[in-house]
Chain A
């Protein structure tokens, strides 16, 4: 039996539904994707100046040394010579711009040390590492080690 025009109604409606779905998607895409997306790569071009405008939180090694030359000198004599101040003390730009008003938080002298010196099979053998529970079950590492020049004090 040859199909009549009325036999196509449900198929036309389904096609219409698909067309509505695709149109809704295209409208959503037009609304949600920023106009400058993809100009330079698979990102929004405006993201670059946006990131540049964000406040700087790290002061940098040189700024710390300007005031804390004594600590820098102490560190320079020991194995932590290549560990930057902000690796342990955290971001210090706020403190550098307002030294008295913005005091940095003192690092926990156990957790901070363990984060690098906890024994791990993946670390080079020459790197000083301990099993904290065996080496010193409790207490501060600073009780025995000078943190800026970590030989036994």
Chain B
């Protein structure tokens, strides 16, 4: 049979989880990572990354709005997803995700963005006419109090929300890893390290995404890149990546040392069917090369232009590497038979419900939403001013 090697069970021939399920952890990872980067400024007071604070929040929101869509498209009948809220099954990790998602969307992101932007919203409300006035008025909840004491109150509440937001972001992405890690029938997935590995790779991908988006937005706006900001982001990307890489290697070494009954099958799979996506794209190009590039930038003082190029290259490779990691987890976990005696192949379709085309559309959609959000709530100019010295409206 084409694409099949050795013995597989009938229900393993065709992969049940497609490229859309690869997108799902990738997108939620970007959300969690972008939020963690935003929290660096807010909670840990890393002033250098301030120019990306609002951009990171808006990016997290844009990607979070798209995060459930791959699942909806994969499962079909999106109207039934409401049942998850109406009659939640408390023993189902999948069902509980709905509540984690809603909490994160409404309580953490929307509320934090609203509090942070409230002054801007009120000023826009005052300055605009027609529909824009109505829109900004509604967003301000028709309260135009932007006195110093009111803004200070917003700031304190926003800070508290970010503190709650960090464990929430950990929960959001740790949960995605938890889903895979708790599937005990699949040795490729079943490891308690999975939630932690997913979480750190999420942080890495989110930081890389914001780094690249910042470069792109500066280029589009024809403004100079704030070098201390990108240097700091690159530094955090490097640290997070080191932790992520160490955890992944720990997982790998543990698998090698433990060498349980699945080891030979998995080892064969990594050396054959997953060789390009795992060894070449994920480990060499997507992890080692960016780690070397970022490490070099920490050790050697390059010229600004070189550093910019280095960061863009490292960020792009990192994103590709994390995507490859999601691919290898989701697709790789379905390529081998649970008998450990055979392998199947994933044949990606194109213009079908779970094909490449909807996957591309779903990857473009967050950027469209981000464009709308940026137009509605411009994140620029935030880095120049100081949060504590908001002018009286």
Contacts and interface: CB of A to CB of B under 8 A. Distances in A.
B230 to A, nearest CB: 34
Contacts of B371: none
Interface in A1-37: 1-4, 6-11, 13-14, 17-18, 21, 25, 28-29, 32-33, 37
A38 interface: yes
B141 A13 contact: yes
A122 B10 contact: yes
B87 interface: yes
A79 B330 CA distance: 42
B153 A28 contact: no
Contact of A42 (B1, B12, B87, B152): B87
A53 interface: no
B7 interface: yes
Interface stretch (B24-32, B142-150, B310-318): B142-150
Nearest to B13: A122
Contact of B118 (A1, A10, A37, A38): A10
B71 interface: no
Contacts of A122: 7-10, 12-13
B141 A10 contact: yes
A38 B6 CA distance: 45
Interface string B13-24: 100000000000
B111 interface: yes
Given A1-B149, A11-B157, A37 B87 contact: yes
A9 B150 CA distance: 9
Given A17-B141, A121-B8, A8 B1 contact: no
Contacts, number: 65
Contacts of A7: 145, 147, 149-150, 153
A8 B147 CA distance: 11
Contacts of B89: 42
B4 A10 contact: no
B140 interface: yes
A120 B8 CA distance: 10
A10 B86 contact: no
Interface string A93-122: 000000000000000000000000001111
Given A13-B141, A120-B10, A121-B7, A3 B149 contact: yes
Most buried by A among B142, B143, B342: B143
B8 A6 contact: no
B85 interface: yes
17 contacts: A1-B152, A2-B149, A3-B149, A3-B150, A4-B149, A6-B145, A9-B143, A9-B145, A10-B118, A14-B114, A21-B106, A29-B86, A38-B87, A42-B87, A120-B1, A121-B8, A122-B8
Interface of A: 1-4, 6-11, 13-14, 17-18, 21, 25, 28-29, 32-33, 37-38, 42, 119-123
